[in-house]
């Protein structure tokens, strides 16, 4: 029962922090200081990523009409091209192009990053660096010449894809880096945020599939408790993501991302503080 409650809390944290540009990894590190599952390390490494599937489903549900590339069958023509919504098809092409850099590097560097970059210091530094970046960008706003998803250019999509590569470093925030990249290349805040949401679908599906494959290739199998923990975590992430996405889209219509920048800096300082206490105080040798 305690592990189920912890899974709900993890799902809530994932649902909020996956879409707001504040780093889900940074919050997970803080949560792990308090919430410790009585489950295997292999399962937890997989769980932290696969729980994102619930968050993905929220995007699909909220934006299904914008994402579904097929028209209703009018019975007049059986040709597939007559049943395609071409603006949506072109949008998906741009989304897939933007995914290529992170997909390639993510597969090649996944194990190395888990071993060397998933630590409190790296996460804290990335939180602070990108927090400062958001504040600086918002202090000198650039004119946005792209306000609709259908008007995103391939050059902009590739640029955002390049920024998404930076999100492979824990603490950067996938939504934070891609929204920042979108704003810098001429997208409006709402347009950059929505493109980030859609970009998450293939990225998170790929990352979740990779983690599941590695989990099973190690000879692991799910226990009944692990199935329950994963299912409950995904459901909680889905429900909370629905609210978080709506909040962000309403927020960016009237406000800048500067507040998220300050929040990131404060969180980075907290993560560094916890790391320092654990490293230099709690583990210090007794005289």
35 in Cβ contact with 190 (< 8 Å): no
Confidence at residue 144, expressed as pLDDT on a 0 to 100 scale: 87
- CA–CA distance, 109 with 84 (Å, rounded to integer): 37
pLDDT tens, residue by residue, 42-51: 998 899 889 9
* Mean pLDDT (the chain, rounded): 89
Nearest CA-CA partner of 176 in 224, 118, 135, 119? 135
168, part of any domain: yes
| Residue 95 falls inside a structural domain | yes
- Split into its structural domains, the chain has a count of 1
Residues of the chain with pLDDT under 50: 286-287
**pLDDT at 118 (0 to 100):** 82
Domain with 200, as residue range(s), is 2-282
Look at residue 7 and tell me if it is in a domain: yes
* Straight-line distance from the first to the last Cα atom of the chain, in angstroms, rounded to the nearest whole number: 41
pLDDT at 218: 93
**pLDDT given at position 143:** 81
| Residue-wise pLDDT tens digits, 106-143 | 888 878 887 888 888 999 999 999 999 999 998 887 78
287 domain-assigned: no
Question: Are 21 and 260 contacting, i.e. CB atoms less than 8 angstroms apart?
Answer: yes
Q: What is the DSSP string of 207-223?
A: HHHHHHHHHHHTT----
Is 138 among the domain residues? yes
Q: How many CA atoms lie within 13 A of 121 on its CB side?
A: 6
């Amino acid at each position: 029962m305690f592990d189920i409650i912890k899974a709900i809390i993890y799902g809530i944290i994932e649902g909020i922090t996956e879409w707001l540009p504040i780093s889900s990894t940074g919050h997970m590190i803080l949560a792990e200081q308090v919430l410790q599952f009585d489950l295997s390390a292999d399962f937890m490494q997989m769980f932290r990523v696969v729980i994102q599937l619930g968050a993905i489903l929220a995007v699909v549900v909220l934006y299904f009409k914008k994402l579904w590339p097929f028209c209703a069958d009018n019975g007049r023509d059986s040709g597939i091209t007559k049943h395609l919504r071409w603006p949506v098809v072109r949008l998906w092409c741009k989304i897939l192009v933007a995914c290529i850099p992170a997909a390639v590097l993510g597969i090649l560097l996944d194990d190395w990053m888990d071993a060397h970059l998933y630590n409190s210091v790296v996460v804290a530094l990335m939180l602070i660096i990108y927090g400062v970046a958001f504040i600086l960008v918002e202090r000198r706003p650039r004119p946005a010449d792209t306000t609709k998803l259908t008007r995103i250019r391939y050059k902009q999509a590739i640029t955002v894809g390049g920024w998404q590569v930076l999100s492979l470093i824990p603490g950067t925030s996938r939504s934070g880096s891609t929204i920042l990249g979108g704003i810098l290349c001429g997208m409006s805040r709402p347009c950059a945020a929505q493109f980030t949401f859609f970009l998450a679908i293939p990225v998170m599906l790929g990352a979740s599939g990779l983690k599941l494959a590695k989990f099973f290739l190690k000879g692991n199998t799910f226990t009944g408790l692990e199935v329950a923990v994963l299912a409950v975590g995904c459901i909680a992430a889905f429900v909370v993501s629905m609210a978080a996405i709506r909040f962000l889209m309403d927020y960016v219509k009237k406000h800048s991302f500067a507040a998220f920048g300050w929040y990131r800096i404060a969180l980075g300082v907290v993560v560094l503080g916890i790391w320092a206490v654990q490293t230099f105080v709690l583990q210090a040798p007794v005289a």
